Amino acid sequence: MMHQLYPQVFHDYCYELNKDMHIAAAHFIPHQLAGKCAHIHGHTYVVNITVAGDALDETGFLVNFQKLKQLVHGKLDHTLLNDHQNWFDSKNSEHFPTTEIVARKIYEVVQDYLDALPHKPKCLQVFVRETPTSYVVYRPKAGDR
């Protein structure tokens, strides 16, 4: 696996964890202005998820790395992103599977999981690289982290 440096998130939490994953998936952007991205095609997405917090759980984890992989890679790897109707919606541009929205959805799924944990870790950043020359960073607004 490539070891890449990601943009830093500045914060005051004691612990910060980062989980990398590679996701092979197809998508298309169902809009006439999307050009050739309107045709189904594939990427190997490189995803990095940053989670932080001040407290650990009873196993000494901030969050279990395997659980993060299961939530995101386990759901999206080797799929057509447009098929995940609880993540994406081909009729609403706020839910098209663009790189930006893929990053935001990953954030939402991870933070929903973290919200149920008693020690309340926070997802601070989701990095999604779609191609060797293009990536997106999603960060929640300051009040949500």
Show which residues are catalytic. 37, 78, 130
Half-sphere exposure of 96 (CA within 13 A, CB side): 15
**Which residue in 143, 139, 53, 68 sits closest to 109, CA to CA?**
68
98: its two tokens? 């663009």
Measure the CA–CA gap between 70 and 66, rounded to whole angstroms.
6
CB distance 41 to 109 below 8 Å? no
